[in-house]
Amino acid sequence: MSHDYQKIAARILEAVGGRDNLQQAAHCITRLRLSLKDESRVDQEALRQVDLIKGQFSHGGVFQIVIGSGDVDRVYQPLIELAALQRATVAEVKASGDQKQGRLQQLVKVFSDVFMPILPAIIVAGLLMGMNNLLGAKGMFIDGKSLLDAYPGLDGVWGLINMMANTSFVFLPALVGWSAAKRFGGSEVLGIVLGLLLVHPDLLNAWNYGKAAAGLDGAALPYFDVLGWFRIEKVGYQGQILPILAATWVMCRVELWLRPRVPNSIQLLVVPIVTIVVSGVLALAVIGPVARHLGIAITDALVYVFNLAPVLGAMLFGALYAPLVLTGMHHMFIAVDLQLIANQGGTFIWPMIALSNIAQGSAALAMFWLARASNEKSMASTSAISAFFGITEPAMFGVNLRYKLPFYAALAGSALAAATITLSHVRASAIGVGGLPAFISIIPQQIPMFLVGMVVALVTPFALTWVLARRQLPQS
């Protein structure tokens, strides 16, 4: 089917408020990304009437229109010609959107920018760790035995997978250091070096910190004695987020301060050495210990609240997580999850996030069965599948929020499912795919109750949407 892309571009330009409302435009593989002066001037209904458009939403100060691979480029060129704009990159449009955000939104965006590039490594590690947990779980498949006990030949496979799974978590500060340095404008290589410094083999492994600090089994904290003036804890930060995040920010400030002040002829010699020495000493002596105790305090506070009123806390989180996704604030929970895993041995937050994603997919799936128009069915089915594998934005923006009641049904299902698993103290040992495959990352003995929660997250939104939203749909 051929399309008049010139006409489609003209209709889009008119619907977003005309050329005087469009500041910049770029596109990725599937979406137009627009920087608008005033998003309230967008005619949402007019955009929905354009055949190629599969959805639209605003995120991070950037208005995004989902068109699809191939077509988006053919629409983009006439759009910028009609608007008399120069081609822009996605980064330029994002930077323009950042300027419109408040302080809290900007802080959340820092977390998003740092963690999104390394999320694939974390997810892969989580899935591998989940597989390993299944192999080593006693009574999961064989009464009183693990698969390793029953089949000793699997021991080599278990060890290999275990090494692969642990790599991303053991060297997590190096990954965060690289990504944070890139975000803060410093040298990415120095960010990696700083991250590796915090997990150097000569430092006490972070997992043994509690035992050494408590003096258990004769263990004691080792120290660097610096010229007899002061001592620095000789402790690593494996799996820790806050220490490397804060240390990399300081490192970048030091590096950016030095660059214009050091002559070009000696920059390569002076800037990296001074940057690493200053930031490294501060990271080990001040930033690391403070950030570690802050991280422990945050995780202890979360655990205390959920222990005090587990059902209420779970239902509130289950109901509020999807609205947080709409604002982009959900990215901060990656750091919280990793901190809980490091300090508590597992996170109770990530399982609830996975169930929230499933609930949004279930509501969208119900809309697929209820829809009459072919374009509505197509949007609902594809967005439901996406949500079931952890990406909920298409389901929320393209289907559930559009009809409102499916979105509320998903929130109700998410809240009930979160309460269900919280009563059974379900936790995940790692972060995996936040949807139907999530059970792989759950602590093996708790998988059955997580599956019960998954059923609640599937059935409740589907049933509520089926009952409540039927009258909202066009009949042709």
Angle between helical axes of 288-308 and 242-258 (0-180°, round to 10): 150
Helix (H) or strand (E) holding 421: helix 405-423
Distance in angstroms (rounded) separating the CA atoms of residues 282 and 277: 8
Q: Assess contact for 52 and 71: CB atoms under 8 A.
A: yes
| Catalytic positions | 28
Q: Assess contact for 239 and 341: CB atoms under 8 A.
A: yes
Distance in angstroms (rounded) separating the CA atoms of residues 355 and 120: 20
Instruction: Kindly list the distances between the CA atom of residue 134 and the CA atoms of 89, 343, 445, in Å, as whole numbers in the listed order.
Output: 44, 22, 9
Q: Quick check: helix, strand or coil at residue 32?
A: strand
Distance in angstroms (rounded) separating the CA atoms of residues 472 and 136: 50
Across-strand partners of 25? 34
Amino acid present at 437? P
The label of the residue with tokens 């278990």 reads: 158
**Closest among 365, 389, 387 to 469, alpha carbons compared:** 365
Q: Assess contact for 214 and 245: CB atoms under 8 A.
A: no
Q: Assess contact for 17 and 38: CB atoms under 8 A.
A: yes
The label of the residue with tokens 């895993």 reads: 341
What is the DSSP annotation of 346-401? SBSHHHHHHHHHHHHHHHHHHHHHH--SHHHHHHHHHHHHHHHTT--HHHIIIIIH
Distance in angstroms (rounded) separating the CA atoms of residues 321 and 193: 35
Helix (H) or strand (E) holding 33: strand 31-36
Q: Assess contact for 467 and 369: CB atoms under 8 A.
A: no
CA 375 to chain centre: 30
Q: Quick check: helix, strand or coil at residue 429?
A: coil
According to DSSP, the β-strands at 62-66 and 223-226 are unpaired
What's the chain's Rg over C-alpha atoms? 25
Distance in angstroms (rounded) separating the CA atoms of residues 410 and 178: 37
Both structure tokens of 304? 């205390």
